[in-house]
Chain A
């Protein structure tokens, strides 16, 4: 379970997170929506300690993420993250992109890690691309590679940051299909997305971000079809 308690964060004078409270239960999918610059990405980075926080606490399985006694490398094994810009490693083949952390972090043997990497690449439909470099893959394939790379680590949680935003429209479907599959398997996920129909279908709860706060949160039915607050309505009417 992920517990985010009254988290505040600023970059210099810019207040980016202004008291975020959110609990994500195991098996739950929570979608974060909201205008660009409202702090969604920053929150994800704070959850797996890629960014520090100024105030508050983030607990992952009751471990305090930003506590200085916490081993953050160890903690990140539990938390897979996938970014909007894929961030695949351009100097490594698809297979090695996935197997690198298996070897270095999970200390698997070469054979074990390669077998597992292959299995995960097949699962996301990249069977034919094992020995291709990211530059030889389409955006959708690179994003599925990034998902496979995160999943191979068997994380308990997935943090997904607008992972379809950089894709051509015809490639969005293939990545969303992969996410549906994960949701069906019971993966716990925090998903930043602009795909409202997807959120409506897959999310257990949807949170609307506005100026560093969770302005409104609820079931997809309530929040998307029946928003209470005016800002939420405005945002949804712009995006739908």
Chain B
């Protein structure tokens, strides 16, 4: 059983392809996180809006994003929207679905961040003569940032895991690319092993740098 001989040379040769997959993974992760965060910043305000339609819209979004599998969300984007004549490329479908998913989770993270800043901080700032804008930028947001920074980092890594689902609609991000390469070379273990190392390397780099930023600049 253990007479399998490892062959790393073939992996070494296809390393540029693996990196290409890793770049696509990173790109999807970063874009889906940025888009998710922008949407979440709006949803967290709509969540408390006087308009009942906006409130319910937000509620529905969060509920679907958090209570259905990300895989299903990708299928809806890729196949489901086709029923309405909206045909997305696999890249856009994955990006859209993960951004949708991110927005749901990030809204909840932001909500927690805002509720952790007491109403008194707002009064103290206004009491000193700061206007609304100044109060948010200099007093409220920095404190929200402090509470949401590490959960957001985790969400970012979670989003990266999510992008690997792109393989099922033919996207060659890191997992998809690795699967393609091993099928060509019949070296599954070697390829998946290296892919795992690349994922770990990216995750750890993100965690380390965010830990550093948290300590040095945010005093967390």
> Is B truly associated with A?
yes
Determine the distance from Cα of A73 to Cα of B118 in the docked complex, in whole angstroms.
Answer: 21
Contact A50 B127, CB 8 Å, known A87-B121, A89-B121? yes
**Chain A hits for B123, CB < 8 A:** 45, 50, 83, 87
In the assembled complex, how far is the CB of residue B58 from the closest CB belonging to chain A, in whole angstroms?
Answer: 26
In the complex, what residue of chain A is closest to B142 when comparing beta carbons?
Answer: A91
Does B184 reach chain A (CB closer than 8 Å)? Answer: no
Does B124 reach chain A (CB closer than 8 Å)? Answer: yes
Contact A149 B143, CB 8 Å, known A50-B123, A87-B121, A100-B138? no
Determine the distance from Cα of A57 to Cα of B120 in the docked complex, in whole angstroms.
Answer: 25
Interface residues of A in 118-150 (CB under 8 A from B): 133, 146, 149-150
In the assembled complex, how far is the CB of residue B116 from the closest CB belonging to chain A, in whole angstroms?
Answer: 11
B128 and A105 within 8 A (CB): yes
B121 and A100 within 8 A (CB): no
Interface string of B188-209 (1 = CB under 8 A from A): 0000000000000000000000
Partner of A50 from B126, B142, B146 at Cβ < 8 Å = B126
Does A90 reach chain B (CB closer than 8 Å)? Answer: yes
In the complex, what residue of chain B is closest to A88 when comparing beta carbons?
Answer: B124
Contact A90 B128, CB 8 Å, known A104-B134, A133-B219? no
Contact A90 B143, CB 8 Å, known A83-B124, A100-B138, A104-B134? yes
Determine the distance from Cα of A180 to Cα of B209 in the docked complex, in whole angstroms.
Answer: 50
**Chain B hits for A105, CB < 8 A:** 128-130, 134
Contact A101 B142, CB 8 Å, known A83-B120, A85-B120, A87-B121? no
Determine the distance from Cα of A57 to Cα of B189 in the docked complex, in whole angstroms.
Answer: 79
Does B157 reach chain A (CB closer than 8 Å)? Answer: no
Determine the distance from Cα of A91 to Cα of B113 in the docked complex, in whole angstroms.
Answer: 14
Interface residues of A in 90-107 (CB under 8 A from B): 90-91, 100-101, 104-105
A81 and B129 within 8 A (CB): no
Determine the distance from Cα of A149 to Cα of B139 in the docked complex, in whole angstroms.
Answer: 14
Scoring B125, B127, B142, B143 by chain A CB atoms within 10 A of each residue's CB, the highest score goes to: B127
**Chain B hits for A81, CB < 8 A:** 127
A101 and B120 within 8 A (CB): no
B146 and A101 within 8 A (CB): no
Determine the distance from Cα of A76 to Cα of B134 in the docked complex, in whole angstroms.
Answer: 14
Q: List 9 A-B contacts (CB under 8 A).
A: A73-B129, A74-B129, A76-B126, A83-B120, A87-B121, A89-B139, A101-B128, A105-B129, A105-B130
A binding-site residues for B, Cβ under 8 Å: 45, 48, 50, 73-74, 76-77, 79-81, 83, 85, 87-91, 100-101, 104-105, 133, 146, 149-150, 153
